């Protein structure tokens, strides 16, 4: 067979001008836990290249493995094909080096902090590290929902480029995203973020800067009340969930949802909200605190409010009565 | 007259460049992986030499720019100046009920296409991107949209309506539109040319069998029925699409598998068809190979495919009150002699008698494959949608010029 000539396409543009980089052809995600994985997967499935930064090679491998598993589950449930999975994974690359974020025009921080005392300082450090390597017009965002973006961005050189956006982790297919403009955020940056949200086929819900946004405030209040109802013995856990689901047409009950979101995370949210607002409404119920101390963090460890088998199916319930925490 | 034909997909642009003085293809190629890693442009010159261009192609406009750049480059091109391109023809998937034939693109046409993206969310947006790209790169160039659905707008109402509440037709335009129209139109017209007959009074069934597949009943040169419907999912069994299926089964599966509309759509569009039955591949060649080694499910997939096409041929013969010509086209229709034989088997009562010897081994060429003296002419006619689009484009441009008779 005749050998094919290979050329570089850049020499064949009509004008000699350098092609402007398309917005959001490459984004960065710091931290590839559950949140980070979801953001990476969503962005990649809309054709965006993703670099995620993790702390160790093991964590990168683990994140890849998890991503593969999530996509496999979607294939099993007919939502995707093998080819699409390959394509999505091929666009996601893990790295240990912040320098790899250099060409990103959007970086989202999605790290997990173990102690709530360090949560702001750690994130501030991340923001600073990102700012060092990216171009001045790269947008830096946090996926955290209870931390104020103005505070995170306060020590940066270009504070106007920071926003907070919140993807819904419990149902990653939920087609919305809360977007918060900080005190310093410029209109231009905010508009670009709205474009990004549109690009990944989500509806942007503009939210004023306030800890807990809309979603977390509503949900934590609900969960606290559900715990009250449970503690008072008004109804059983599964019946409370059922009433919420069937009675109000919700997809998950408050306890099921807590297990999906992670008890540890909810506990942190509530600590943040309580310290922000000082309203006891946000003080985590003793049930939540007990579960958190017992490391019954939810579905991902097969035990939270409910017990789960490896496949994530509920096999038992009732943390208050039949089993002591 | 030199015409560039573009077929813009979600991440690819196929192009062919014709010189219509003698209907020759001067160059062709494809841009792939637009907006992704590893994007490239593969160009094939008139002499068959292929050139690969690698580099970042971030969107459709840049893709089109490079196509124009390559076509007009001294090193690999075939024109000196972009002015040599007289017009651009676009393949547009959905033209709704409004577009009964190819149209010169203007603002109204674009507005209508934007409206129809609701009906073809995967296909119309990239088609539009191609149109926008040309508008911004060569604003003055005339562009023509050639619709996949246009040929089927001649279907009578009793053929295109679904028996569901009429209000839904009024509200959302739920009806059968049909697709592959340019191909069915081209091969049916070409068959008449080859046979040297007038399409008037002729009853033709065209089978476009490729990765997507549809059958069309062509009477007096007009489409009177076709197997694809509101979307390209209806009708024949395809590579990964189920084709006709009982709606009751659909809602039952969704219930049992606990899936929503999106996953259901993926299930019936991407996990079904030949791939779903065989469990091996959506590619007919691979299925044939496995079947030859005795794979039961591949044998079944082939039988089901042939049977479904046969049923449609029979029903269209009934719909038209007879059949004079049966045409095979598309990748499978043009190249697979065994498929053609499998489909025609048992249709002798209709006058469809395949000449096994002529059929065997004939691939990708215009040929008559019926027995001498058989009532129905059976033909293989390789489709050429791009040429059809180019010819349409030339005609529309000429018409628009003759209408444009303002005094100087």
* Nearest CB to B41; choose among A5, A9, A22: A9
**C-beta neighbour count of B387 within 10 angstroms:** 20
**Quick one: average pLDDT of A65-78?**
91
Same domain, B372 and B288: yes
Predicted confidence (pLDDT) at residue A116 exceeds the cutoff of 80: no
Q: Which residues in chain B touch residue A73, judged by CB atoms under 8 angstroms apart?
A: none
CB-based contact B55 A2, cutoff 8 Å: no
User: Hey, is the C-beta of A77 within 8 angstroms of any chain B C-beta?
Assistant: yes
Question: Given an 8 Å threshold on Cβ–Cβ distance, is A14 in contact with B65?
Answer: yes
Regarding whether B224 and B107 lie in a shared domain, the answer is no
**Contact call for A4 and B52, based on CB within 8 A:** yes
Instruction: Verify that B125 and B217 share a domain, yes or no.
Output: no
CB pairs < 8 Å spanning A and B: 83
Report the pLDDT value the prediction gives residue A149, as an integer from 0 to 100: 86
pLDDT given for residue B408 in this prediction: 45
**Rounded to a whole number, what is the distance in Å from the CA of A252 to chain B's nearest CA?**
14
Based on the fold, state whether residues B285 and B137 are members of the same structural domain. Answer: no
A5–B51 C-beta distance less than 8 A = yes
Say whether B62 and A8 touch across the interface (CB within 8 A). Answer: no
Check whether A34 has a pLDDT greater than 80: yes
Q: How far apart are CA A297 and CA B88, in angstroms?
A: 60
Q: What is the pLDDT of residue B405?
A: 55
Is B41 within the bounds of a domain? Answer: yes
| Domain annotation covers residue B357 | yes
Q: Are residues B265 and B362 in the same domain?
A: yes
Kindly tell me if the per-residue pLDDT of A26 is higher than 50: yes
Choose among A9, A22, A25: nearest Cβ to B66: A9
Q: Show residues of chain A in contact with B263, CB under 8 Å.
A: 77-79
Percent of chain A topping pLDDT 70:
91
For the segment A121-148, what is each residue's pLDDT rounded down to a tens digit? 889 999 999 999 999 889 999 998 887 8
- Does the beta-carbon distance from B37 to A4 stay under 8 Å? no
Residues B206 and B345 in one domain: yes
Judged by CB atoms closer than 8 Å, whether chains meet at B69 and A13 is answered as yes
What's residue A7's pLDDT?
Answer: 85
Q: Look at the block and give the residue holding tokens 């005609």.
A: B395
Which of A7, A8, A11, A12 is the best residue to mutate to test the B interface, defined by the most B CB atoms within 10 Å of its own CB?
A: A12
Contact A79 B266 (CB under 8 A): yes
**Are B328 and B209 a contacting pair, CB within 8 Å?**
yes
Q: Return the pLDDT at A133.
A: 94
Nearest to A13 among B35, B65, B258 (CB): B65
Q: Is residue B169 part of a domain?
A: no
Does B266 contact A80 at a Cβ distance shorter than 8 Å?
Answer: yes
What's the CA gap between B5 and B87, in Å, rounded? Answer: 9
Q: H-helix or E-strand containing B219?
A: strand B213-219
Specify whether B77 is located in the same domain as B207.
Answer: no
DSSP A26-41: EEEEE--SHHHHHHHH
Provide the total of helices (H) and of strands (E) in chain B, helices listed first. Answer: 15, 14
Asked if the Cβ–Cβ distance from B271 to A78 is below 8 Å, we say: yes
Alpha carbon separation from A95 to A50, A59, A64, A68, A292 (Å, rounded): 10, 10, 12, 17, 31
How many structural domains is chain B composed of? 2
Nearest chain A residue to B73 by CA: give it. Answer: A12
Cβ neighbours of residue A229 closer than 8 Å, sequence gap 6 or more: A235, A240
Tell me the residues of chain A between 78 and 117 that have a Cβ less than 8 Å away from chain B.
Answer: 78-81, 87, 90-91
B119 against A256, higher pLDDT:
A256
Domain assignment present for B402: no
> How confident is the model over A66-79, as a mean pLDDT?
91
| Residues on chain B touching A21 (C-beta within 8 angstroms) | 58
Average pLDDT along chain A: 87
Condensed to tens digits (0 to 9), the pLDDT of residues B98-120 reads 999 999 999 999 999 998 888 88
Phi and psi angles of residue B121, each rounded to the nearest 5 degrees, phi first: -65, -25
> Can you tell me the distance from the alpha carbon of A303 to that of A298, in angstroms, rounded to the nearest whole number?
5
For residues B285-296, b (16+ Cβ closer than 10 Å) or e, as one string? eebbebbeeebe
Give the active site residue among B22, B59, B148, B337: B148
**In chain A, positions 208-247, which contact chain B (CB-CB < 8 Å)?**
none
Residue B225: active-site member: no
Q: Are residues B138 and B207 in the same domain?
A: no
What is the domain-level CATH number for residue B371?
Answer: 3.30.420.40
- Are the Cβ atoms of B51 and A13 closer than 8 angstroms? no
In tens, the pLDDT along A155-194 reads: 888 899 999 999 887 676 788 999 998 888 999 999 999 9
Q: B265 and B116 share a domain? A: no
Across the interface, do B37 and A90 touch by the CB < 8 Å criterion?
yes
Paired with B378 in beta bridges are: B326
**pLDDT value of position B121:** 80
Q: Are residues B365 and B234 in the same domain?
A: yes
Residue B107 in any domain: the answer is yes
Confidence category of residue A310, pLDDT binned at 50, 70, 90: confident
**Can you say whether the dihedral through the CA atoms of B255, B257, B261, B264 is positive or negative?**
negative
The per-residue pLDDT for A19 is: 52
Looking at the domain assignment, is residue B401 inside a domain?
Answer: no
A28 min Cα distance to partner chain B (Å) = 16
* C-alpha distance from A248 to closest chain B C-alpha (Å): 19
Nearest to A279 by CA among A270, A269, A292: A270
Chain A interface, best mutation among B52, B57, B255, by max A CB count within 10 A: B52
B9 with B126, same domain: the answer is: yes
Among candidates B52, B66, B259 on the partner chain, residue whose Cβ is nearest the Cβ of A5: B52
Q: Walk me through the domains of chain A, giving residue ranges and CATH numbers.
A: 26-207 (3.40.50.720), 216-316 (1.10.1040.10)
Closest partner residue to A78 among B56, B66, B259, by Cβ? Answer: B259
Answer whether residue B351 is part of any domain.
yes
B112 lies in some domain: yes
What string of pLDDT tens digits covers the 408 residues of chain B?
899 999 998 888 999 999 988 889 999 999 988 877 678 999 999 998 999 999 888 788 889 999 999 999 999 999 999 999 999 999 999 999 999 999 999 999 999 999 888 888 878 899 999 999 999 899 999 999 999 999 999 999 999 999 999 999 999 999 999 999 999 999 999 999 999 999 999 999 999 999 899 999 999 999 999 999 999 999 999 999 999 999 999 999 999 998 989 899 999 999 999 999 999 999 999 999 999 999 999 999 999 999 999 999 999 999 999 999 999 999 999 999 999 999 999 999 999 999 999 999 888 899 999 999 999 999 999 999 999 999 999 999 999 888 765 544
Facing residue for B259 by CB, picked from A6, A22, A77: A77
Task: Spell out which residues of chain B touch residue A8, defining contact as CB-CB under 8 Å.
Answer: 53-55
B57, B59, B258 ranked by CB distance to A9: nearest: B57
Task: Give me the helix-helix angle, A34-45 and A57-76, nearest 10°.
Answer: 60
Interface of B with A in 238-297 (CB under 8 A): 240, 257-259, 262-264, 266-267, 270-271
Q: Indicate if B244 and B125 belong to the same structural domain.
A: no
B53 with A12: Cβ contact below 8 A: yes
Contact A7 B65 (CB under 8 A): no
The beta-carbon neighbor of B73 closest among A6, A12, A78 is: A12
Q: Which domain holds residue B90?
A: 2-147
């Amino acid at each position: 067979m005749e050998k094919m000539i290979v050329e570089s396409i850049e020499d064949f543009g009509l004008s000699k001008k350098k092609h402007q980089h398309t917005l959001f052809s490459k984004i960065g995600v710091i931290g590839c836990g559950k949140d980070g994985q979801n953001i990476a997967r969503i962005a990649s499935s809309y054709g965006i290249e993703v670099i995620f930064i993790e702390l160790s090679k093991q964590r990168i491998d683990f994140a890849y493995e998890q991503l593969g598993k999530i996509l496999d589950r979607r294939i099993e449930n007919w939502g995707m094909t093998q080819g699409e999975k390959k394509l999505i994974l091929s666009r996601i690359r893990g790295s240990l080096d912040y320098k790899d974020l250099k060409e990103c025009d959007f970086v989202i921080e999605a790290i997990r902090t173990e102690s709530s005392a360090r949560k702001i300082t750690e994130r501030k450090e991340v923001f600073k590290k990102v700012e060092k390597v990216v171009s001045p017009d790269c947008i830096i965002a946090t996926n955290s929902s209870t931390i104020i973006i103005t505070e995170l961005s306060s020590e940066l050189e270009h504070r106007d480029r920071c926003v907070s956006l919140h993807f819904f982790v419990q149902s990653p297919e939920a087609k919305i995203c809360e977007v918060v403009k900080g005190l310093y955020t410029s209109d231009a940056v905010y508009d670009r973020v709205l474009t990004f949200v549109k690009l990944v086929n989500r509806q942007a819900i503009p939210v004023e800067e306030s800890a807990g946004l809309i979603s977390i405030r509503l949900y934590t209040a609900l969960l606290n009340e559900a715990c009250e109802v449970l503690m008072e013995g008004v109804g059983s856990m599964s019946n409370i969930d059922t009433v919420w689901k069937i009675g109000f047409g919700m997809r998950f009950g408050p306890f099921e949802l807590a297990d999906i979101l992670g008890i540890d995370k909810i506990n942190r949210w509530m600590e943040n909200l309580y310290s922000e607002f000082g309203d006891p409404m946000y003080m985590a119920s003793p049930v939540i605190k007990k579960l958190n101390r017992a490391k019954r963090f939810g579905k991902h460890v097969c035990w939270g409010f409910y017990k789960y088998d490896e496949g994530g199916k509920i096999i038992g319930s009732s943390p208050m009565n039949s089993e002591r925490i | 007259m030199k015409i560039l034909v573009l077929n813009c997909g979600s991440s690819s642009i196929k192009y062919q460049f014709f010189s219509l003085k003698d209907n020759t293809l001067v160059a062709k190629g494809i841009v792939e992986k637009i907006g992704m890693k590893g994007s490239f442009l593969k160009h094939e010159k008139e002499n068959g030499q292929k050139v690969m261009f690698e580099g970042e192609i971030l969107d459709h406009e840049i893709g089109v720019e490079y196509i124009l750049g390559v076509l007009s480059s001294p090193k690999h091109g075939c024109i000196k100046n972009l002015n040599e391109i007289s017009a651009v023809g676009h393949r547009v998937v959905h033209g709704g009920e409004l577009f009964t034939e190819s149209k010169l693109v203007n603002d109204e046409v674009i507005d209508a296409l934007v409206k129809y993206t609701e009906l073809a969310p995967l296909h119309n947006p990239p088609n539009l991107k191609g149109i926008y790209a040309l508008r911004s790169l060569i604003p003055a160039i005339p562009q023509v949209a050639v619709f996949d659905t246009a040929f089927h707008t001649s279907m009578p109402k009793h053929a295109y309506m679904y028996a569901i509440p009429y209000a839904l037709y009024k509200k959302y335009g739920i009806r059968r539109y049909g697709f592959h129209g340019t191909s069915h139109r081209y091969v049916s017209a070409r068959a008449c040319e080859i046979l040297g007959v007038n399409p008037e009074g002729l009853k033709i069934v065209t089978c476009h069998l490729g990765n997507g597949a549809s059958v069309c009943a062509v009477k007096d040169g007009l489409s009177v029925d076709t197997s694809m419907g509101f979307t390209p999912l209806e009708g024949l069994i395809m590579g990964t699409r189920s084709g006709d299926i009982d709606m009751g089964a659909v809602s039952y599966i969704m219930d049992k598998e606990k899936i929503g509309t999106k996953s259901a759509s993926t299930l019936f569009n991407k996990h079904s068809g030949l791939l779903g039955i065989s469990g091996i591949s959506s590619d007919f060649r691979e299925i044939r190979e496995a079947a030859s080694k005795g794979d039961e499910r591949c044998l079944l997939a082939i039988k089901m495919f042939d049977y479904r096409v046969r049923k449609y041929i029979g029903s269209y013969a009934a719909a038209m009150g007879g059949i004079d010509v049966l045409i095979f086209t598309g990748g499978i229709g043009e190249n697979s002699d065994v498929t053609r034989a499998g489909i025609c088997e048992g249709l002798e009562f209709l006058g469809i008698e395949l000449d096994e010897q002529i059929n065997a081994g004939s691939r990708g060429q215009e040929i008559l494959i019926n027995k001498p003296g058989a009532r129905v002419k059976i033909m293989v006619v390789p489709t050429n949608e791009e040429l059809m689009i180019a010819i349409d484009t030339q005609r529309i441009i000429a018409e628009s010029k003759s209408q444009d008779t303002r005094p100087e």
